[in-house]
């Protein structure tokens, strides 16, 4: 599909804002040419960007960006459909979805890759809540038909184990996030040959989404397909997210027409000390006042429409509301008849899933706390072609924003 100019601008802002924020909090100017801005962020790997010392960004408005010509370049998916799997299934792979929706995507991806490599049947996972004993079926949260259709011919998927297998004891394997072919062949496959009933538990020792180098293009395509095409909220939940986003867009029409989403999570910020590390230019998280300072610095108007990934309003957010009155939480914009199911039920997974959906479709996204949520939001729309988009943006706007060409991960 052709590149949408609004997506290009949003992509540029999302990639550059979080990198620049740490530096601007510490200084009242941009770093001189030759220094590199980077973020030491809980395992998430960000590309470094060089900024000229003459760079100034005083207004963020669509009127300030001039498109010289329409680009003929297209954004392509990061996968080609893996070849059909015609071999008979010789075992079963089971697992559970845990921690939260941003982790579910990675857990799904690893399980699909492993099942594909082993030629095993994948059993639909159950979803385990944060509270002990709290469980729900996969189809209670996600679109099961869409999931199974996306993997048709790639991996065989069934709803539940056959009775004769259920009585057996599975081999439990701890799997590192972004599992490699080497780990599968050296650790998982020998166990699978002895016991063809596996139960996987993904371990997140880091939260990097960077693709590990691999010579197995089939597994690379399988991983990319599973991560970006398979997991979707069930239609009625997606409809609620759309209603909320539509309301934000309607409000934004009174200003610049842009919806800015911020992953704030005050309950985590209260427990985390946002100190610098690895030098004065690196921070792991940002408080509301720091975000306000940044937004003002780059020129967002006071009328900008902002969505916070918060369920209820918290007094620590008052500084944001004072500077940007059109700032909203889920409680502010969710239809009243849906609050009981999504907000008052105590089910944090559903609320977080709405955040992921809304942030992925916002015009600009700013994470105050980096992690898998940040990685999946920024990659959700562009798959693994962010580098191509950024190179296109830097070429197009080099004269407008005075950003020299940067080195991004290919």
Mean pLDDT calculated for residue range 175-185:
93
More confident site: 89 or 144: 144
| pLDDT value of residue 109 | 94
More confident site: 10 or 222: 222
- Whether 194 has a pLDDT exceeding 60, the answer reads yes
| pLDDT value of residue 149 | 93
Q: Exposed, middle or buried by CB within 10 Å (0-12, 13-18, 19+), for 234?
A: middle
Among 20-29, 128-137, 185-194, 199-208, which range has the highest average pLDDT?
A: 185-194
Partners of residue 367 on adjacent β-strands: 263
More confident site: 88 or 397: 88
Helix, strand, or coil here: 366?
A: strand
Where does the pLDDT of residue 42 fall: very low under 50, low under 70, confident under 90, or very high at 90 and above? Answer: very low
- Whether 78 has a pLDDT exceeding 70, the answer reads no
**Distance between CA atoms of 53 and 61, rounded to whole angstroms?**
22
In contact, 174 and 203? CB cutoff 8 Å: yes
Q: Exposed, middle or buried by CB within 10 Å (0-12, 13-18, 19+), for 206?
A: middle
In contact, 162 and 253? CB cutoff 8 Å: no
pLDDT tens for each residue of 284-310 = 788 899 999 999 998 899 999 999 999
Mean pLDDT calculated for residue range 319-344:
91
Q: Give the Cβ contact number of residue 348 at 10 Å.
A: 14
In contact, 380 and 228? CB cutoff 8 Å: yes
In contact, 202 and 106? CB cutoff 8 Å: yes
| pLDDT value of residue 388 | 31
In contact, 23 and 281? CB cutoff 8 Å: yes
> HSE-up of 258 (CA within 13 Å, CB side)?
20
In contact, 406 and 47? CB cutoff 8 Å: yes
Report which DSSP code applies to 361: T
| pTM over cut 0.85 | no
- Whether 23 has a pLDDT exceeding 50, the answer reads no
- Whether 234 has a pLDDT exceeding 90, the answer reads yes
CA distance from start to end of the chain = 20
| pLDDT value of residue 5 | 52
pLDDT tens for each residue of 261-278 = 999 878 777 766 565 555
- Whether 401 has a pLDDT exceeding 80, the answer reads no
Report DSSP letters for 172-213, one per residue: EEEEESS--HHHIIIIIHHHHHH-SEEEEEEE-S----PPPP
**Mean pLDDT over the full length of the chain:** 74
Mean pLDDT calculated for residue range 240-249:
95
Question: Which string of b and e fits 286-317 if b means at least 16 CB within 10 Å?
Answer: bbbebbbbbbebbebeeebbbbbbbbebbeeb
| pLDDT value of residue 379 | 59
**Distance between CA atoms of 289 and 270, rounded to whole angstroms?**
14
Percent of the chain topping pLDDT 90: 42
Which structure tokens are listed for 267?
């309950």
| pLDDT value of residue 69 | 39
Helix, strand, or coil here: 142?
A: strand
**Distance between CA atoms of 353 and 342, rounded to whole angstroms?**
10
Three-state DSSP string of 213-272: CCCCHHHHHHHHHHHHHHCCECHHHHHHHHHHHHHHHHHHCCCCCCEEEEECCHHHHCCC
Crossing angle of helices 372-380/101-118, nearest 10°?
70
**Distance between CA atoms of 255 and 113, rounded to whole angstroms?**
45
Choose among 262, 398, 386, 231: nearest CA to 329.
262
């Amino acid at each position: 599909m052709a590149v949408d100019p609004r997506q290009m601008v949003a992509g540029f802002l999302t990639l550059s804002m979080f990198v620049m924020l740490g530096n601007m909090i510490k200084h009242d100017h941009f770093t001189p040419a030759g220094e590199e801005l980077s973020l030491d962020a809980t395992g998430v790997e960000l590309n470094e960007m060089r900024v000229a010392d003459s760079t100034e960004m005083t207004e963020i408005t669509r009127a300030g960006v001039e498109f010289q010509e329409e680009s003929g370049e297209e954004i392509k998916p990061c996968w080609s459909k893996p070849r059909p799997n015609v071999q008979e299934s010789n075992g079963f792979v089971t697992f559970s979805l845990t921690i939260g929706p941003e982790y579910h995507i990675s857990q799904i991806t690893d399980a699909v890759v492993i099942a594909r490599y082993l030629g095993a049947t994948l059993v639909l996972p159950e979803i385990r809540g944060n509270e002990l004993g709290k469980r729900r079926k996969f189809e209670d949260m996600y679109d099961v038909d869409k999931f199974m259709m996306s993997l048709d011919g790639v991996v065989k998927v069934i709803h539940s184990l056959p009775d004769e297998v259920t009585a057996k004891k599975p081999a439990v394997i701890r799997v590192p996030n972004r599992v490699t072919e080497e780990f599968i062949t050296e650790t998982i496959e020998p166990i699978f040959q002895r016991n063809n009933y596996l139960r996987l538990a993904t371990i997140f020792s880091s939260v990097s989404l960077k693709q590990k180098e691999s010579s197995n293009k089939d597994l690379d395509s399988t991983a990319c397909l599973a991560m970006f095409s398979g997991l979707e909220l069930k239609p009625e939940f997606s409809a609620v997210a759309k209603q909320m986003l539509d309301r934000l867009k309607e409000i934004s029409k009174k200003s610049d027409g842009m919806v800015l989403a911020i992953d704030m999570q005050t309950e985590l910020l209260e427990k985390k000390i946002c100190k610098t590390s690895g030098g004065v230019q690196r921070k792991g998280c940002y408080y509301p006042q720091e975000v306000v300072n940044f937004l003002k610095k780059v020129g967002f108007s006071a009328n900008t429409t902002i969505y916070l990934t918060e369920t209820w309003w918290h007094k620590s957010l008052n500084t944001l509301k004072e500077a940007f009155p059109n700032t909203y939480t889920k409680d502010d914009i969710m239809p009243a008849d849906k609050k009981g199911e999504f907000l008052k039920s105590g089910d944090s997974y559903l609320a977080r899933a709405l955040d992921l959906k809304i942030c992925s479709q916002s015009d600009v996204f700013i994470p105050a706390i980096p992690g898998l949520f940040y990685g999946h939001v920024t990659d959700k729309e562009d798959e693994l072609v962010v580098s191509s988009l950024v190179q296109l943006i830097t070429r197009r706007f080099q004269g407008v924003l005075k950003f020299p060409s940067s080195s991004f991960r290919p």
